[in-house]
A = this chain, B = another copy of it.
Amino acid sequence: MDIRELARHLGLSIGTVSRALNGRKDVSPATRKRVIDAAKTHGYIPNQSGRTLRSGRTGTIGFMLTLEHDSAMHGDPFFMALLEGVQNGLSEHDLDLAVLLARKGEDGLTFLRRHVSRGTVDGWVLSGTQHEDARIAFLLDRAIPFVALGRTATARDYAWIDLDFEGLVAESMRLLTDAGHRRIGLVAPPATINNSQIVVQAYRAALERAGIAFAPALVHHGETDESDGEATASELMALPERPTALLLMGETAPVGAYRALRRMGLEPGRDVAVIGLRDNPACRALSPDLTCFSLDLDDLGLALARGMVAMLPGQYDATKPLVQQLWTMKLRLRQSHLAPPRVG
């Protein structure tokens, strides 16, 4: 039943029904009750597009996904599990989740402008944050609620949750340098991604702590998926002084790296130490079992949803600090890091 039918059924004007449903004061309590009861009885659902115009509320949160950046960092398995967590968190507040995908090659700001001007959603979860990320200032300037999965270079204050890349690189490097490795190859995400810079900084700090000189040839920036893991491992192992250990900061990079190593007659975990990012199904399928980090994506998704809801009008409390959380990942010690630092 639409609003016209509901109004006809009640013998009221559409305007009165609309004002009653929107809780306006110029409708008597008795009429309001009659309208709301009838709306319930007849299963009337307000047209959300209409409600958007009146109250700016769509009941939906947008998760902005930029396949190019996000796949580069995390690949596929990360996001589906994360989205399930976000969805669960939003459901608690009767909010829907719409994953909105930036078009291929499309600038993030163009995408966001389009959806903001359309009023597609009430608030945003941003992912794949870049070091210089114009989306942050755009949303802050317009007071549009959002939470970012990832930090950026901006000095401005905003809500974010990020993985503790500093911590996981430091822990991986300590494991390798304590075992005597001095030539450690690093596969980091594309340089524009904020976490790529954090990863390289943490890598360099760890080298310095261990008294090892930084060799730029050992650091590769780029996509961190399976095929890039394969290409990069090949390149790094072809260096005149090849690394004895590889640190691979992409979800499926280790799958390609194992393949590349074996093609060169090298066995991961015996001839070359390998540490990966996260124990997704692809990494769990590897043998020898991959030393990497584990992460509860349901919990992370839930935290993002709650961080987002805390920014919404009616929930936002300016006296409380913004959500700004580094999310620790837990080392999952297996066999792949065990290769001794033999120089090939």
Given contacts A48-B117, A99-B99, 10 further A-B contacts (CB under 8 A): A46-B117, A48-B118, A48-B120, A49-B118, A67-B84, A75-B80, A80-B80, A226-B284, A252-B281, A255-B284
Which residues of A approach B to under 8 Å, CB–CB? Answer: 45-50, 52-53, 58-60, 67, 71, 75-77, 79-81, 83-84, 87-88, 91, 96-101, 103-104, 113-115, 117-120, 225-226, 252, 254-255, 258, 280-287
Q: Which residue of B lies closest to A94 (CB)?
A: B103
* CB atoms of A117 and B77 under 8 A apart: no
A136 to chain B, nearest CB (A): 21
Of the residues B53, B101, B255, contact of A281 by C-beta under 8 Å = B255
Q: Which of B87, B100, B101 contacts A101 (CB 8 A)?
A: B87
> Assuming the A-B contacts A80-B67, A81-B76, A118-B49, are A99 and B101 also in contact, with contact meaning beta carbons closer than 8 angstroms in the complex?
yes
Evaluate contact between B53 and A49: CB separation under 8 angstroms.
yes
Determine the distance from Cα of A79 to Cα of B119 in the docked complex, in whole angstroms: 26
Number of copies of this protein chain within its complex: 2
Which residues of B are found within 8 Å of A113, using beta-carbon distances?
45
A-B contact pairs, 25 of them (CB 8 A): A45-B117, A47-B118, A48-B117, A49-B49, A49-B119, A53-B53, A58-B118, A59-B118, A75-B77, A75-B281, A76-B77, A76-B79, A77-B77, A84-B101, A87-B104, A91-B103, A96-B101, A96-B103, A98-B98, A99-B101, A225-B281, A226-B281, A226-B284, A282-B282, A285-B285
**A258 surroundings in chain B (CB, below 8 A):** 285
Contact A91 to B104, CB < 8 A, known contacts A48-B120, A285-B255: yes
User: Given the complex, which residues of B lie within 8 Å of A114, measured CB to CB?
Assistant: 45, 96
Q: Which B residues are in CB contact (< 8 Å) with A77?
A: 75-77, 282
Residues of B within 8 A of A103 (CB): 87, 91, 96
Closest to A60 in B: B120
Q: CB-CB < 8 A to A53: which residues of B?
A: 47, 49-50, 53
